Amino acid sequence: MRVQGPGASWDSGHTELLPPGHRVGDWVVTEPIGAGGWATVYAGRRAAADGPGAGAELHEVALKIMPTSGLAPRQARAVSEAARREVEIGVRAGHPRLVRLLDSTVLSAPDHPELDGAIVLVMERARGSLRDLLGAGIAEADGARLIAGICEGLAHLHRCGWVHADLKPENVLIGEDGAVRLSDFGLAAELTTGTHGHGPPMGTLDYLPPERWRAPLGELGVEIRPSADIWALGLVIHEVFASGAPLFPGATPVARGAAVQEYAAGRAPLRMAGGVPEFWRALATDCLAPTHAARAAHTAESLLERIAARQADGGGPRSRTGRLRRTARTALLALAACGAVGSAIWSYAGLPAGEGGSAARVGTAQPPLQVRVFNAEHACQDRTDRAPQCSLGLAVDPMRPYVAGNVVPTRVWHADVLDADCQLLRGEVVIDESDTRSTHWFRVRLPGADPAAAPDAVAWLPAVRTKDRPPLPRCPAPAPAR
Ligand SMILES: Nc1ncnc2c1ncn2[C@@H]1O[C@H](COP(=O)(O)OP(=O)(O)OP(=O)(O)O)[C@@H](O)[C@H]1O
């Protein structure tokens, strides 16, 4: 159950359940599986095994239903934002260690007014979550495999420019193949600056890093860094080997949060359960470095390498050695495929941005995504004469300063619509007229260039020169321009 983070308050309070047999798009509800702060999750199956698109696709699915009706506009916006993030990650960051999103739709349930119009995410169905396994105790070999799987998923998410921001055993699902699938991306934060992103001041109190308890709430939300996931990972590692016992003492999440603060201030040591094996104790301790700066030395990728190296040295449970080494290798290969994997698996129809908006469907063929050029000069916005003084330049190389020597001859004007094929989050800094600094760029096709005749006719539009944010895959690192 999601609880409010410092500075936020919201609870959906949804209680109405859909009956078995209720039709949701191409799917039929079979039974409820669980509920979180935003949603109720149901088991479902495809309505007609031979229906459209049935083929070899999954027939047993999970339907995550996120009601918006009856909510205050701010709450409805929070729900639709959470759904948008889930779809965006499903589209852009597909990976074997992330739960697979198959479809999204809007529930039609006129007989259930609380649920009518709810957003529905259709996902592969997992057999359970890590939380379900903790009570019974997990053998070290299995724990090692699960933790390596979590690191793989996190490494991929971070590489793709996202922080999960709500990692906890409930959100580590176990697929039918027994492998990890990270889930619940409703609070995920995009690393818009390269080092951090922003998100709503919410999360599960027990897994918040020490700095989040004091984080100022700015216009964009609270600052969130990948090291927040590493902190949560440290707690999860402890729970895996301590039968689910929380590391920090206290009867309530707030009391445990106070214990976190004591530790972070150096007034209390970490007291891990006796059963946590030495290697995992050291790994968890690194994940739980009290400051972001100290924790940042330990990335999901570096932790995964340590786990694989230990297995290679014969220090881990022997039967898993080859598998874990393969896991690490696969993860590193998958890193290179970030974005490309997502775009190969999914196509995306985008989500409406409006308040309480509903999810559009994924899985349909799409034309190229587009961005509309924005010229901050008011005097240029209404001109249609393509006056040279109102033209804007597209960069040759987004890794070099955006100056006259680094623009292509082709000019663009306010309201021009350009086809874009990918986005780069960490290019050269561009500062716009209102002093907004951005390292975000879109790779666009040069207007008028024929893609068949000139496939390389591309240039770069700084994101400050458009208001659009299409859900494009990440660009591969651009080769330096000659
Ligand atoms: N794809 C899935 N397959 C099987 N079970 C799932 C799936 N997705 C979610 N669940 C189950 O449904 C429960 C509710 O999921 P949900 O993602 O809404 O919330 P949560 O993580 O429990 O809570 P919160 O919203 O507080 O983070 C989960 O705890 C999980 O056990």
Written as one letter, the residue type at 305 is E
- Measuring from each residue's beta carbon to the nearest atom of ligand 1, which residues come in under 6 Å? 1-2, 33-39, 41, 62, 64, 99, 123, 125-126, 129, 166, 170-171, 173, 183-184
Decide: 90 and 68 in contact? Cβ < 8 Å: no
pLDDT band at 3 (very low <50, low <70, confident <90, very high): very low
Q: How far is CA 217 from CA 23, 192, 213, in A?
A: 41, 17, 11
- 360 has a pLDDT exceeding 70: no
Residue listed under structure tokens 């009570």? 135
The Cβ-side half-sphere exposure at 299, using a 13 Å CA radius, reads 11
**Class for domain 128-333, per CATH?**
mainly alpha
CA-based angle 280:285:288, to the nearest 5? Answer: 125
Of residues 119 and 322, which shows the higher confidence score? 119
Please report, in range form, the residues annotated as the binding site for ATP. 64
97-111, 125-139, 160-174, 211-225: which range is least confident on average?
A: 211-225
What mean pLDDT do residues 174-193 have?
A: 91
Tens of pLDDT, residue by residue over 234-245, are 999 999 999 999
Total Cβ atoms within 10 A of residue 341: 20
Tens of pLDDT, residue by residue over 131-158, are 999 989 899 999 999 999 999 999 999 9
Strands, sheet with 40-46, edge to edge from the N-terminal-most edge strand: 23-24, 27-35, 40-46, 60-66, 119-124, 101-106
Tens of pLDDT, residue by residue over 439-463, are 889 999 998 887 777 778 999 999 9
Q: Which residues make Cβ contacts (< 8 Å) with residue 34, sequence separation at least 6?
A: 40, 41
Of residues 255 and 474, which shows the higher confidence score? 255
Decide: 160 and 338 in contact? Cβ < 8 Å: yes
As for the ipTM of the complex, it is 0.96
Q: How far is CA 371 from CA 393, 425, 444, 464, 466, in A?
A: 15, 16, 8, 11, 7
Please report, in range form, the residues annotated as the binding site. 64
pLDDT of residue 66: 92
Pocket residue to mutate for ligand 1, from 12, 65, 129, most atoms within 8 A of Cβ: 129
- 13 has a pLDDT exceeding 70: no
What mean pLDDT do residues 375-400 have?
A: 84
What mean pLDDT do residues 87-102 have?
A: 86
Q: How far is CA 432 from CA 245, 268, 377, 439, 470, in A?
A: 50, 46, 11, 11, 20
Q: Give the Å distance between the CA of 56 and the centre of ligand 1.
A: 25
Structural domain boundaries of the chain?
23-124, 128-333, 370-465
What mean pLDDT do residues 256-269 have?
A: 96
Query: Which residue's CA is minimally distant from atom 27 of ligand 1?
Result: 2
DSSP-assigned letter for residue 176 = T
- The atom number, within ligand 1, closest to the CA of 39 reads 18
Same fold across 23-124 and 128-333 = no
pLDDT of residue 15: 58
Which residues partner with 98 through β-bridges? 182
Q: Report the alpha-carbon distance of residue 13 to residue 11 in Å, rounded.
A: 6
Tens of pLDDT, residue by residue over 186-230, are 999 988 766 788 887 777 899 999 998 877 777 677 889 999 999
Q: Report the alpha-carbon distance of residue 423 to residue 442 in Å, rounded.
A: 4
Q: Report the alpha-carbon distance of residue 412 to residue 193 in Å, rounded.
A: 26
Please state the CATH superfamily assignment of the domain spanning residues 23-124 in this structure.
Answer: Phosphorylase Kinase; domain 1 (3.30.200.20)
| 410 three-state secondary structure | strand
Query: Which residue's CA is minimally distant from atom 1 of ligand 1?
Result: 125
Residue listed under structure tokens 């047993």? 60
pLDDT of residue 390: 81
What mean pLDDT do residues 37-53 have?
A: 78
